Amino acid sequence: MNAVTARSRRLPQSSARSRRWTESRAGREALALYLFISPWALGLLLLTIVPVVLGILTSLTNYDGISPLNLVKFVGTANYVRASQDEDAWQAFGNVVLLSLWLVPIGIAVSTALAALLNQDVKGKGVFRTIYYLPTVFPIVAGATLWISIADKNAGLLNAFLSIFRPGTAVNWLLQYTRVILAMFMIWAGTGGGMIIMLAGLQGIPQELKDAARIDGANSWGAFRHVTLPLLTPVLFFQLIMSLIGTLQVYVQPLLLSAGSGVTVGSGLAGSPRRPVYMYLNHVMIQILAYQRFGYGTALLWIMFVVLVLLTLVIFRTSRYWVYYEVEQA
């Protein structure tokens, strides 16, 4: 009886305390904050945290995407051990690493060069900026169709141009030089976005520093090398990370180019491109969509995620030796 009486006495006190909290200014501000961030918090929980946890759990099972959950078995790290012994996965990983090693630096160099040219005070520079940026907004299928027509053996523009110097040239670029066409396609499609980022970085460099270098006797190349390039390194650092992440995740472009050459095995997103352009994500999607190995495919994705994190950390740690900031970083 005494416990019931005491509890009934505490209830009005707690309710009165909560009313005082909501009636105060700090309480109203805190309540408004929670209400405003609740959509974001729910989105973070439902669209990020829950899928990540489910992805980790899926990689530790033999889930095939069809069987009921009561038939799913926990296999531990078996999927990861299998990935380390998968020759196709190693070949696909080697292909995408090889593509990144020469595609990323070439793409950054081309973007920087175009940005430097279009940063000059010349007439019509807005038109040229638009022209160079247009490939970035092209649908990827339309861009692949364009490059397939350019590289066509019989009626392609590339062979037509080479025939000017060597009549009768009929190189089957899509079969013999698939990697080259893929690299050209990706540089063409991605240079516009990188150019805009580099152009923004160039326009953020004070003109007074360039003028001071010219007064000290530096020519155009010297001013670019000793003033512009060091101040552009933070933008180059950002572009390096983004380009590396994007290139290691290439997926659709090899499928489209292989389909244009007529040698794609399978169809749709589960198709297999030619071996020279058989990339890591192509292997992953074949395991998931064609063979219904959801657990194994998810494990492959987590391996790529770890690789990307490690590469990003290495770039961050080495950036202190080549990235220059006007304000000292902590």
Confidence (pLDDT) at 210: 85
Confidence (pLDDT) at 28: 81
- CA-based diameter of the chain, in Å? 107
Q: Does the structure show a pLDDT above 90 at 198?
A: yes
- 43, 83: one domain: no
CB atoms within 10 A of CB 20: 10
Q: Kindly report, residue by residue over 129-187, the tens digit of the pLDDT.
A: 999 999 999 899 999 999 999 998 888 899 999 998 988 888 889 888 989 999 999 99
Residue 67 CA from chain centroid, whole number: 33
Amino acid at 283: H
- 6, 88: one domain: no
Per the domain annotation, does 7 fall within a domain? yes
Per the domain annotation, does 327 fall within a domain? no
As a whole number, mean pLDDT of residues 245-259 equals 90
- 84, 41: one domain: no
Categorize the per-residue pLDDT at 25 as very low, low, confident or very high, splitting at 50, 70 and 90: confident
**CB of 102 closer than 8 Å to CB of 179:** no
- 129, 19: one domain: no
Q: Kindly report, residue by residue over 175-192, the tens digit of the pLDDT.
A: 889 899 999 999 999 999
Q: Does the structure show a pLDDT above 60 at 2?
A: no
- 175, 114: one domain: yes
47 vs 269 pLDDT, higher one: 47
Per the domain annotation, does 273 fall within a domain? yes
Q: Does the structure show a pLDDT above 60 at 12?
A: no
Q: Does the structure show a pLDDT above 80 at 15?
A: no
Confidence (pLDDT) at 120: 86
Q: Does the structure show a pLDDT above 60 at 16?
A: no
- 112, 245: one domain: yes
Tell me the CATH number at 163: 1.10.3720.10
DSSP calls for 272-313? B--GGG--HHHHHHIIIIIS--HHHHHHHHHHHHHHHHHHHH
- 149, 208: one domain: yes
Which residue bears the tokens 């990323």? 104
Nearest one of 244, 245, 214 to 227, comparing CA atoms: 214
Per the domain annotation, does 72 fall within a domain? no
Q: How far apart are CA 19 and CA 247, in angstroms?
A: 56
Residue 26: give the domain boundaries: 2-48
- 27, 132: one domain: no
- 235, 94: one domain: yes
Per the domain annotation, does 276 fall within a domain? yes
Q: Could you give the dihedral angle defined by the CA atoms of residues 27, 28, 34 and 38, in that order, rounded to the nearest 10 degrees? A: 150
Q: Express as a percent the part of the chain with pLDDT over 90.
A: 57
Per the domain annotation, does 15 fall within a domain? yes
Per the domain annotation, does 44 fall within a domain? yes
- 145, 254: one domain: yes
Categorize the per-residue pLDDT at 52 as very low, low, confident or very high, splitting at 50, 70 and 90: very high
Q: Does the structure show a pLDDT above 70 at 19?
A: no
**What's the structural domain count of the chain?**
2
- 200, 149: one domain: yes
Q: Does the structure show a pLDDT above 80 at 290?
A: yes
**CB of 58 closer than 8 Å to CB of 298:** yes
- Tell me the H-state helices in the chain: 2-23, 25-44, 50-58, 78-84, 87-118, 125-137, 140-150, 157-165, 173-176, 178-203, 207-215, 220-223, 229-248, 252-261, 280-285, 294-318
Confidence (pLDDT) at 175: 87
CB atoms within 10 A of CB 246: 16
Q: How far apart are CA 312 and CA 296, in angstroms?
A: 25
Q: Does the structure show a pLDDT above 60 at 266?
A: no
- 18, 163: one domain: no
Per the domain annotation, does 249 fall within a domain? yes
Categorize the per-residue pLDDT at 11 as very low, low, confident or very high, splitting at 50, 70 and 90: very low
